[in-house]
Structure 1
Amino acid sequence: MLLTSNQREKFFKYAYLETMAIIGSYIGVGYLINPKDILMLDSEFSFVTILLAIVTLFHGMSSGVFALVLLGTTMKLGYEEFNYMYFLRESVLMLIFGEFHYYWTRTIKQHAIEDKFTRQKLSELSKAFYMLKISHDQIEKSYVVKPMSIRNSILTIKEKFDIDNPEIFYQEFLMLLQKTLNIERAFLLSVEDEESMTMMAQTDKDEIFYKDDLIVQDAMIKKKPIYISSDDLYNGSRYLAAIPVVMEDRLIGLFIISKMPFMSFNKDNLISATILISYMFDELYKLRILNHIDDFLYRFQDNFRFEVYRLYNLNQKFKIESTILIFKSYDKVKTHMLHELVGSNLRSLDLMSYLTTENFDAVAILFPLADRSSVKGFVNRIYNNMHIDSSTLDIEQSSFSISELDTIKLYLECQ
């Protein structure tokens, strides 16, 4: 309204102050035009309705009520007779505007959260794809000398992760980077805020880290990789490159390269280092969450459990729906068919997991940001491809909202 879009976000907490300024300006203009009709109630056009609509639709019902109190007080003091019918009519309109603001704001927020989740998943899939590419390139270059791929090396390091002693994880990962990218000296740091950084691993224990170095400071401020050849400004730095790790627009880590052979210090290796570091911190975040939710759907695979946990939190906070579809099979052959058909029919964001018990096998599919009605077509495709119908005794299926985790647990316990 009175402020630009950027200023509105910055000063949104001053909604009442802005409302008071608007109403005060309106009253002042009305007094100059006609002191006997300050709010211009007798005009053919209802200016008060427009005023309440603007304030309530922008700031919400609380500001609308505040505006109505100011207008009501002015009507009481500035007019001989208080117009109750006019005031009640404007009150009803304000309530309608306020309800519309509530639902509209909630819808926008839900779409923003869904978009954020989709972009986050896209980023994770992109990193995983690039990790696969780096890993295959590494195998092609030195298969005989180093037969283990980077991804397998990371998986091996992950298996050794200890929540109470993560320094070993960081140190082994730094050694992997050192061997893969031919880095001689480097630091790996965890960042809480600009003033609080923790040294998690370093190649040379005697080397001192200078956090006030220009490359380090610029990497933290800009939240993007900085290296000496990118600008003459950094040629006086102690370090060759500073690579920040950013999660949800928050700086969580830093990888500093202080010494590296000239032939290895190239764009491809810097990009590889950026992807590897980001991937490592993502995996570390998942490991910490999985350690925290140890008994959460514990019979399913870790990736599935993590995504369910993340979407469950979105549902609890913002009422964003996701669906879990579970097939229970009492026939091993049909379980095998289910597993193959489900895997070939998944969308990019869908995720599958399975478990085996003494009495049945279960295949679970997670449909992010989708309600239960949207999975019916998927179920029909699976049954049609298997040439069976939903009444078969060997397979049963049920879909659950992401909020029904207790029901899912009971369903899986039923024999």
Structure 2
Amino acid sequence: MEFNRNSYEITQQAAAWFSWLEVAVITTLVIVFCQLAKPDDPFFLNSTIAWPVVAPLLISLRYGFFKGVVSAALLLLIIVLWQRLNNDANNLTPTYAIFIAITSMVAGEFRDTWERRLSRLQESNQYRQLRLDEFTRSFHMLKVSHDRLEQQMAGHSLSLREALINLRKNIQGSNQHQNLLSKISSAVANKIMALFSEYGSIQQAAFYQYTEQGIQSEPLSRLGEDITLINDDPLLKHCISTRQVVSINPELVKKINAQHSKYMMCIPFIDSNDHLYAVVVVNSMPFLSFQEPVQKLLAVLAGHIADLFSAIQVVDKLEDVELTDMLVNLKRSLININKHELPSTVISFNIENNDAGYQVLSIIKQIRRGLDLIFEYQTDSTVEVICLLPLTELIGVEGYRNRLQEACQSQLGMSLTQLPVEINIHYMSKDPELLQSFIRKHCSHEHPLVSYSGYFA
């Protein structure tokens, strides 16, 4: 509905003229009735009640102080003119005039006071109604957003731990794994994009391998419609130069003129040795997924995938898959806590080399979670076990100790303090030297992790 200011002003003017017309008509009608009721004293100058006061009284109650006073003045003026023209013997006394004036003014002031009070209440009510309408609209928008979020998150908790477990199952167990040294296969790229679609709700994206010659022109995998690769895109260039996940945001727009970018987000696959394997360019994803936690999740996934690629090269050098996994994941945990503040914990077990010790080692392997890594090294007298608990902080470690304690109590009938095992815990920090010192302190000099502790630097 449109608001016409001109028609509104005309209506207001018409209402003002009508009110003045009512002042004249009501005053005249009251005088006429008084004339008909008492012709010898039409203004009731000698009566107990001055009935002509009804005219200014009605006007004051309807239109307020000013128009009431005008009506009273008009009435008194008519009385004076009537007496002069008709030589009326009834004189207008000051008491009569004061009574008419005071009555009209009191009634008018009473009406104006209540009108101001009602006007303030009406304005307050209109303001509250406006706020209520805004709240109602916001509530319905929030409800719609919440319903969409529930639909999006149904059966999907965006758990980083779950995502990494699925990552290892889908990629590390792929029959294409051995070919990653030379070229990432389309099958592996498709699995990676499927993970990104599941945990990042990405709708349109492409996976490009990165080599010494630069980004390959043809994508290994796609989601949604085709995406044209633009090598000089400001967002893509910034992603490769900084080796970080970048997305469109106000700060980046000012810094690199990212408003000209054709992409929403670029995700690099950087291993723990800062080697770039591939880049995913994202062109479309839901607004609810375009937020920092999802971007952090995708960045961590990309880093772990790159570590799987680089692990093959390390395996070729070390020829020990378990040692390779432990080294790569320890370094990745250091990167996660430095870049994303994701906690991890390392626990060392020094177990005596006897039957009771082997039973404890068996229990440690039984309670291992999906992401936990265990590397054991046996000496003549002890079995040295290093256990990495990714994404685990103080509360998680306490839960791990409680499960280990309960398992030992139920299976062996003894507590940890009664068993031949020494436990030491290191909560990983941003300083790699603390991790190196922990491993050197609680492992023998021949331990492989001590020999390769410089890998964490």
TM-score where L is the length of structure 1: 0.41
Give TM-score, length-normalised by structure 2. Answer: 0.38
CA radius of gyration, larger in = 2
